[in-house]
Structure 1
Amino acid sequence: MADVVEVTDATFRTVVLESPRPVLVDYWADWCAPCRQLSPIIEELAAEHGDKVTFTRLDTNANPVTPTEQQVLGLPTLQIYVGGTLVKQFRGSKTKSQLLKALDDYL
């Protein structure tokens, strides 16, 4: 069972871009209601599939540099990186089945 990894501006490169595994990044903020709804789904996916994909979250309030660099324009935003390259991006709340379908190539 894997946990969701907290990522910061300082750790984004190491944890996400230099990861040998696919990485899902959940950009969130405490004031964002859809972000709070998405959080338990991300935690479930991490528990079920954390051996194949690294699940991370980045608090955009505390870490404003990375969302700007990664062109995150709204919350929640989910990005999937493979080999340091952004391969998929989604904005807005998603269901567990929608996320599983998006991650299907990496599971």
Structure 2
Amino acid sequence: MGKPILLDFSATWCGPCKMQKPIIDDLKEKYGDQVDIKEVDVDENGEMARNYNVMAVPTIVIEKDGEEVKRFTGLKQADVLSAELDKLL
């Protein structure tokens, strides 16, 4: 089984996205190689955002083995995201 993937869909102009970034950075430090965490700028990766049906930013998608497990829209705290990731490890 593969490791979980967290996709953080955001934009440089988005206020809540700017507040989400340090939380994502902390998760990268906490989980290291256990979770693949990717930041996706929706303006630079519009096709990927459309493929994931991202309608608002920030949107966080957590996947495991190629399947979407959980989706969050709006600013989410580290404990909420960690709880979901911990279930998959």
For the criterion TM > 0.5, the same-fold answer is yes
In the other structure, the counterpart of 2:78 is 96
Query: Aligned partner of 2:83: which letter?
Result: K
* Rounded Cα–Cα distance in structure 1 between residues aligned with 2:3 and 2:80: 21
CA contact (8 A) 1:38 1:93 kept: yes
Mapped contact 2:3–2:35 kept (Cα < 8 A): yes
- The aligned residue for residue 47 of structure 2 is 65
* Unaligned residue ranges in structure 2 (runs of 5+): none
Q: Which has the higher helix share?
A: 2
RMSD between aligned residues: 1.4
Distance 2:45 2:57 in 1: 14
Q: TM-score, normalised by structure 2?
A: 0.93
SS at match of 1:50: helix
- The one-letter code matched in structure 2 to 1:98 is V
Letter in 1 for 2:43: N
> Do the aligned partners of 2:4 and 2:85 also contact (CA within 8 Å) in 1?
no
Identical aligned pairs, as a percentage?
Answer: 35
CA distance in 2, matches of 1:83, 1:51: 16
Structure 2: which amino acid aligns with 1:57?
A: E
Q: Paired residue for 1:86?
A: 68
Query: Structure 1 residue 39 and structure 2 residue 21: aligned?
Result: yes
List gaps (5 residues or longer) in structure 1. 1-18
- How does the TM-score come out when normalised to structure 1? 0.78
Deviation at residue 51 of structure 1 after TM alignment: 2.3
Contact 1:78 1:90 (8 Å CA) reproduced: yes
Q: Distance in 1 between matches of 2:33 and 2:44?
A: 28
